[in-house]
């Protein structure tokens, strides 16, 4: 489990205070907060890209700063936003890049890696896209491919930065359903989002960054009005 | 030939004697040409109180003309001789000035670091001669400040920077085309131009006539041989050799040497790949003018050179050990270059002026 | 693996072999096939044709192949490292960095710097240092064009210093440096081919050990980092390999332009992949093709006109790059 206790997060001054927050495998959490309140900073802290100002994050009881990059990449996969596809990179090759933590330095891909990648394609429901070029995909397809890549990484935890921004309603629905489905299959998922309606509709547990820079946790999704009052 | 030559000399002497006395100038009103035998790019016309110097670039339509008054009483002239402040922007101009011993008239040159002549060098180190650099980055204000009467520059088809402005200030720019002359004596004959401008035409003619006599005598004594030569060197991937109608090819011919590319057209240089050079010149007996002063440096540029017979047999000759001397004096003293070539050809290269065998 | 890629594994080496063969047999001297064979089996130093094959033709052919492959691989690394299809060792000032240290070496007149090892050493150091400089700039500049402009500025700046150094050197050292600066496939001697070959092999082997990281870097630095890649060591490795490959070619051939810029783009277009294992193969083989063809053109034109190799690479490369810019960057 990913555990945060008495941590303050930020670059030089504290953006967010977290008393306690836990993400277990099989759990899903939506990170909500106004723009500029530090959602991305929070996710970057979890990815060990910036150290917390005080306190430590532990993953499966090992503190984050003691984990090397390679080990961390087998525990947590991260899906940033803004991936537009790469010319010449096929969807299958993209998903195979999720296998990077398990490859030798020459990047040799084994039969097992391919099997895992096909499974990931199937789980994300994009088997038919496997031969396409990532630069030709729609935003929704790209997001699904990114999730499949994270699945191929075979990590217990998946962290996502605004996975549904720029998507139309249908695609948002697909992504939310997929994420809930994956949590049921045992993944621990944390994602930042602005889609309060979706979060509320699917009754997803919420981690909200309040106006007072405190992390407030709700095991059941509160009413939208309350969330808005706390955060915005 | 010889009779005609002495006849002209006679006329020359007569006319030049006439110049000194005012009486004789009054007598003859019509203009006469000062004889120019080998050079194609300049002409000097002479009439009672002035000369006209015409310089013609064969590649251009219009020519350069300068009316030169013989003394301060001459009206409507561009310049009155003798000129006392000259800027000479090529080495061969300096060579002419040195031969004519007009040391005190030269106030500026391209680069005093490359001077050969002792007198010029000591004048330069005493600050009496200014360095101007090359025409590409010419310090015009420095030139104006040094207040020259005349600037002689090599005319490679380009305009001298700020030509019009300088002309307005009374600085006369004279294009020099000695590099364009095809006959070695044609290049040397440009000493007449320097003589004319410095008021020492007579001496210039005398010096040139001696050079001519020496050159022609050497040629007359030389019989064609079977010795074959090659010339030039690589620049990048291109080997530049003088063309068959060039000044250098002419010198080889006059020295009785068969030049590999004597049949090629043009007066400039011809480009060849190194493989073509090996094909054409492998068996040449002598290699002139590689532009380096040691065989080691040549091999550094390309070790493939070692397959040339001339290189193998140590028959490589160049002037690079004393580059400044060559560039200053070779154009104005072609008889010495010829003499070097003949000595080298004869297989007994002693008393060489410019050339040296490469080791 | 796509079947087109598999076909290329067989087809392109064959065409390269045929091209190399044509290249060896082209030139002023008529060389027969049997002479070519016998120059290897029973070399006779007194047979001019044997000498031509062994000292003129074969080194030139091998140089074209190795230089083309090395520069293309260096370009591929730069383009992936900076995620910029217009990056290349030449435009980013890495070549002029190598030129700068070579000039320093040449102009000191110390004979070590004029030996093969000295030349190679100084070029590699220069290429590496200037690679690090551009890498440092890349941390501040996210814009594709800005980084290229910085590269061009670094190039101009070092060229200016080099030209000042030249102006205070002896005319002969200046001449040696100027000749080096022209870029040529012909000045490589048969002994130097070994140097070039070894550097190439080391460069490619090192490159293969970084393939995992390089492939991940295609997704961007944050993504690569989340995939467990140590970015700092990957960047240093990529710069070092580029310095080795581009610096080595620059040391022996002088600056050769456009290969490192054009071929990595061509490779991506033809092979339609972002997998750097395939791209390594593609750049090696296409780069070798390109420089061989460019040099063949100069040989065929020899009886009419001598064209410098850099003129050919630019004549083919520049319009191609313009097309890339129009299509990708608009």
B303 touches chain C (CB under 8 A): yes
pLDDT < 50 positions in chain C? none
Pairwise pLDDT comparison (B11 vs A132), residue with the higher score: A132
Q: Do A69 and C211 touch (CB under 8 A)?
A: no
Best of B272, B273, B296 to disrupt the C interface by mutation (most C CBs within 10 Å)?
A: B273
Whether chains A and B touch (3+ CB pairs under 8 A) is answered by: no
DSSP letters for chain A: -EEEEEEEE-SSS--EEEEEEEE-TT-EEEEE--TTSSHHHHHHHHTTSS--SBS-EEETTEEGGGS-HHHHHHHEEEE-S-----TT-BHHHHHHGGGGGGS-TT----HHHHHHHHHHHHHTT-GGGTTSBGGG--HHHHHHHHHHHHHHTT-SEEEEE-TTTT--HHHHHHHHHHHHHHHHTT-EEEEE-S-HHHHHHTT--EEEE-TTSBEEEESS---HHHHHHHH-
Residues A95-117 pLDDT 10s: 999 999 999 989 999 999 999 99
Interface test with C, best of B113, B236, B327 (most C CBs within 10 A): B236
**Residue B44 near residue B51 (C-beta atoms within 8 A):** yes
How confident is the model at residue B48, as a pLDDT? Answer: 82
Residue B32: band (very low, low, confident or very high) from pLDDT cuts 50, 70, 90? confident
Q: How confident is the model at residue B88 (pLDDT cuts 50, 70, 90)?
A: very high
Nearest-CB residue to C172 (from B238, B276, B297) = B297
Residue C2, pLDDT score: 64
Residue of chain B minimizing CA distance to C175: B235
Touching subunits for chain C (3+ Cβ pairs under 8 A): A, B
| Termini Cα distance of chain C | 32
- The pLDDT tens digits for B207-246 are 999 999 999 999 999 888 999 999 999 888 889 999 999 9
Structural domain harbouring C97 = 63-329
How many domains does one find in chain C? 1
- Taking each helix axis from N to C end, the angle separating C58-81 and C3-25, rounded to the nearest 10 degrees, works out to 140
- CATH code where residue C171 lies: 1.10.3470.10
The answer to whether position C175 is within a domain reads: yes
- The per-residue pLDDT for C99 is 85
Are C51 and B307 an interchain contact pair (Cβ–Cβ within 8 Å)? yes
Is A78 near chain C, with CB under 8 Å?
A: yes
Level-2 CATH architecture, domain A2-231: 3-Layer(aba) Sandwich (3.40)
**pLDDT of B12:** 43
Nearest residue in C to B292, CA atom: C172
Are A204 and A181 a contacting pair, CB within 8 Å? no
**B223-357, what's its fold?**
Rossmann fold (3.40.50)
Mutation pick from B274, B276, B304, B306 vs chain C, by most beta carbons of C within 10 Å, is B304
- Per CATH, is B2-216 categorized as 3.40.50.2300? no
Is residue B16 pLDDT above 70, yes or no?
no
- HEC-encoded secondary structure of chain C: CCHHHHHHHHHHHHHHHHHHHHHHHCCCCCCCHHHHHHHHHCCCCCCHHHHHHHHHHHHHHHHHHHHHHHHHHHHHHHHHHCCCCCCCCCCCCHHHHHHHHHHHHHHHCCHHHHCHHHHHHHHHHHHHHHHHHHHHHHHHCCCHHHHHHHHHHHHHHHHHHHHHHHHCCCHHHHHHHHHHCCCCCCCCCHHHHHHHHHHHHHHHHHHHHCHHHHHHHCCCHHHHHHCCCCHHHHHHHHHHHHHHHHHHHHHHHCCCCCHHHHHHHHHHHHHCCCCHHHHHHHHHHHHHHHHHHHHHHHHHHCCCCCCCHHHHHHHHHHHHHHHHHHHHHC
3-state secondary structure of B115: coil
Which band of pLDDT confidence, cut at 50, 70 and 90, is reported for residue B41? very high
pLDDT of B286 > 90? The answer is yes
Closest C-alpha among C172, C176, C175, C129 to residue C154: C129
What are the residue ranges spanned by the domains of chain B? Answer: 2-216, 223-357
Q: What is the pLDDT of residues A16-51, one digit of tens each?
A: 999 999 999 999 999 999 888 889 899 999 998 889
Under 8 Å between Cβ of A220 and A44: no
Interchain contact A100–C (C-beta under 8 A): yes
Residues in chain C within 8 Å Cβ distance of A105:
209-213
* Residue A86 near chain C (CB below 8 Å): yes
- Interface touch C272/A78, C-beta < 8 Å: no
Tracing tokens 């090359």 back to the chain, one arrives at B134
DSSP code string of A86-102? -TT-BHHHHHHGGGGGG
Distances (CA, A) of A231 to A4, A34, B230, C51: 20, 6, 90, 83
pLDDT at B5: 45
Domain-wise residue ranges, chain A: 2-231
Alpha-carbon distance of B33 to B45, in angstroms, equals 4
**B48 DSSP 8-state letter:** S
Minimum CA–CA partner of C204 in chain A: A106
Q: C320: distance to nearest CA of chain B, Å?
A: 26
Find chain B residues with C-beta within 8 A of C175's C-beta. 291
Tens-digit pLDDT profile for residues A199-216: 999 999 999 999 888 999
Asked if A88's CB is within 8 angstroms of C268's CB, the reply is: yes
Q: Which residue of C has its CA nearest to A88?
A: C273
Q: Which of C176, C186, C305 sits opposite B274 (nearest CB)?
A: C186
Q: Report if residue C212 sits inside a domain.
A: yes
The residue-averaged pLDDT of B40-62 equals 88
Shortest CA gap C179–chain B (Å)? 5
* Backbone dihedral region for residue A93 (phi beyond 0: left; psi -120 to 50: alpha; all else: beta): alpha
Common-topology check for domains B2-216 and B223-357:
yes
Residue A198 touches partner C, C-beta closer than 8 Å: no
Is A107 in contact with C215 (Cβ distance < 8 A)?
yes
CB contacts < 8 Å between B and C, how many? 65
The verdict on B233 touching C (C-beta cutoff 8 Å) is no
Interface test with A, best of C212, C221, C230, C237 (most A CBs within 10 A): C212
ipTM reported for the complex, 2 dp: 0.89
The closest alpha carbon to B359, from B313, B298, B320, B314, belongs to B314
Compute the distance between CA of residue C217 and CA of residue C235 in angstroms, rounded to an integer: 10
Question: Residues B157-187: pLDDT tens digits?
Answer: 777 888 888 888 889 999 999 988 889 999 9
pLDDT in tens, C227-260: 999 998 999 999 999 999 999 998 888 889 899 9
Residue C184's contacts (CB-CB under 8 Å, 6 or more residues apart) are B236, B237, C253, C254, C308, C309
By the 8 A CB rule, do B109 and B115 touch?
A: yes
On whether residue C92 sits in a domain, the answer given is yes
CB atoms within 10 A of CB C137: 18
């Amino acid at each position: 489990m990913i555990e945060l206790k008495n941590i303050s997060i930020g670059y030089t001054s504290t953006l967010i205070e977290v008393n306690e927050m836990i993400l277990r495998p099989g759990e899903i959490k939506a990170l909500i907060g106004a723009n500029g309140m530090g959602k991305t900073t929070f996710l970057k802290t979890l990815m060990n890209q910036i150290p917390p100002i005080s306190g430590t994050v532990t993953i499966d009881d090992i503190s984050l700063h003691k984990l090397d990059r390679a080990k961390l990449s087998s525990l947590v996969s991260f899906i940033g936003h803004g991936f537009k596809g790469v010319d010449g990179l096929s969807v299958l090759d993209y998903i195979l890049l999720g296998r990077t933590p398990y490859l030798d330095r020459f990047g040799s891909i084994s039969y097992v890696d391919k099997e895992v990648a096909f499974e990931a394609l199937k789980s994300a429901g994009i088997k038919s896209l496997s031969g396409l070029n990532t630069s030709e995909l729609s935003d929704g397809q790209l997001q699904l491919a990114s999730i499949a890549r994270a699945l191929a990484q075979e990590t217990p935890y998946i962290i996502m930065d605004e996975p549904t921004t720029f998507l139309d309603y249908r695609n948002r629905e697909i992504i939310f359903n997929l994420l809930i489905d994956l949590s049921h299959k045992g993944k621990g998922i944390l994602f930042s989002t602005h889609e309060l309606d979706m979060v509320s509709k699917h009754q997803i547990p919420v981690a909200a960054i309040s106006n007072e820079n405190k992390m407030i946790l709700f095991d059941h999704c509160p009413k939208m009005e309350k969330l808005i009052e706390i955060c915005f | 030939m010889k009779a005609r030559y002495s006849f002209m000399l006679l006329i020359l002497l007569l006319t030049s004697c006439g110049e000194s006395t005012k009486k004789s100038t009054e007598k003859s009103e019509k203009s006469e040409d000062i004889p120019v035998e080998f050079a194609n790019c300049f002409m000097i016309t002479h009439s009672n109180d002035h000369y006209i110097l015409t310089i013609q670039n064969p590649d251009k339509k219009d020519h350069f003309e300068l009316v030169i008054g013989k003394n301060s009483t001459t009206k409507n002239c561009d310049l009155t001789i003798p000129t006392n402040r000259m800027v000479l922007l090529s080495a061969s101009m300096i060579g002419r000035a040195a031969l004519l011993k007009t040391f005190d008239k030269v106030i500026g040159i391209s680069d005093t670091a490359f001077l050969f002549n002792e007198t010029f060098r000591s004048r330069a180190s005493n600050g009496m001669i200014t360095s101007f650099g090359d025409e590409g980055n010419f310090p015009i204000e420095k030139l104006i400040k040094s207040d020259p009467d005349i600037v002689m520059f090599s005319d490679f088809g380009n305009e001298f920077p700020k030509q019009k402005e300088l002309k307005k200030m009374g600085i006369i720019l004279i294009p020099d085309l000695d590099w364009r002359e095809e006959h070695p004596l044609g290049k040397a004959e440009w000493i007449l131009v320097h003589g004319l401008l410095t008021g020492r035409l007579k001496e210039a003619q005398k010096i040139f006539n001696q050079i001519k006599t020496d050159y022609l005598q050497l040629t007359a004594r030389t019989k064609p041989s079977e010795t074959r030569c090659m010339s030039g060197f690589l620049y990048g991937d291109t080997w530049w050799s003088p063309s068959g109608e060039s000044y250098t090819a002419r010198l080889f011919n006059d020295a009785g040497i068969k030049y590999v590319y004597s049949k090629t057209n043009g007066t400039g240089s011809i480009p060849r790949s190194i493989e073509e050079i090996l094909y054409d010149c492998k068996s040449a007996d002598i290699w002139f003018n590689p532009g380096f002063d040691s065989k080691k440096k040549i091999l550094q540029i390309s070790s493939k050179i070692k397959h040339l017979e001339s290189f193998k047999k140590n028959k490589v000759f160049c002037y690079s050990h004393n580059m400044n001397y060559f560039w200053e004096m070779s154009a104005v003293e072609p008889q010495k270059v010829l003499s070097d070539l003949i000595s080298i050809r004869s297989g007994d290269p002693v008393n060489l002026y410019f050339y040296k065998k490469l080791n | 693996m796509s079947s087109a890629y598999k076909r290329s594994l067989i087809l392109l080496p064959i065409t390269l072999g045929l091209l190399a063969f044509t290249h060896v047999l082209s030139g002023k001297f008529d060389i027969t096939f049997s002479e070519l064979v016998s120059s290897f089996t029973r070399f006779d130093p007194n047979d001019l044709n044997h000498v031509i094959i062994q000292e003129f033709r074969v080194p030139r052919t091998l140089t074209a192949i190795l230089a083309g492959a090395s520069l293309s691989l260096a370009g591929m690394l730069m383009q992936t490292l900076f995620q910029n299809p217009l990056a290349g060792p030449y435009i980013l000032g890495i070549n002029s960095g190598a030129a700068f240290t070579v000039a320093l070496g040449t102009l000191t007149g110390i004979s070590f710097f004029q030996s093969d090892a000295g030349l190679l050493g100084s070029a590699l150091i220069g290429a590496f240092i200037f690679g690090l400089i551009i890498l440092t700039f890349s941390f501040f500049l996210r814009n594709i064009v800005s980084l290229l402009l910085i590269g061009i500025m670094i190039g101009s700046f070092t060229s200016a210093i080099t030209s000042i150094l030249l102006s205070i050197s002896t005319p002969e050292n200046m001449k040696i440096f100027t000749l080096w600066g022209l870029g040529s496939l012909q000045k490589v001697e048969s002994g130097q081919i070994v140097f070039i070959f070894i550097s190439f092999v080391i460069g490619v082997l090192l490159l293969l050990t970084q393939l995992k990281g390089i492939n991940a870097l295609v997704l961007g630095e944050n993504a690569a980092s989340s995939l467990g890649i140590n970015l700092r060591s990957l960047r240093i490795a990529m710069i070092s390999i580029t310095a080795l490959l581009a610096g080595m070619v620059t040391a022996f051939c002088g600056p050769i332009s456009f290969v490192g810029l054009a071929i990595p783009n061509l490779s991506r277009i033809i092979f339609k992949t972002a997998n750097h294992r395939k791209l390594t193969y593609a750049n090696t083989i296409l780069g070798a093709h390109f420089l061989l063809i460019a040099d063949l053109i100069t040989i065929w034109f020899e009886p009419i006109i001598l064209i410098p190799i850099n003129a050919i690479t630019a004549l083919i490369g520049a319009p191609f790059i313009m097309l890339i810019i129009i299509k990708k960057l608009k």
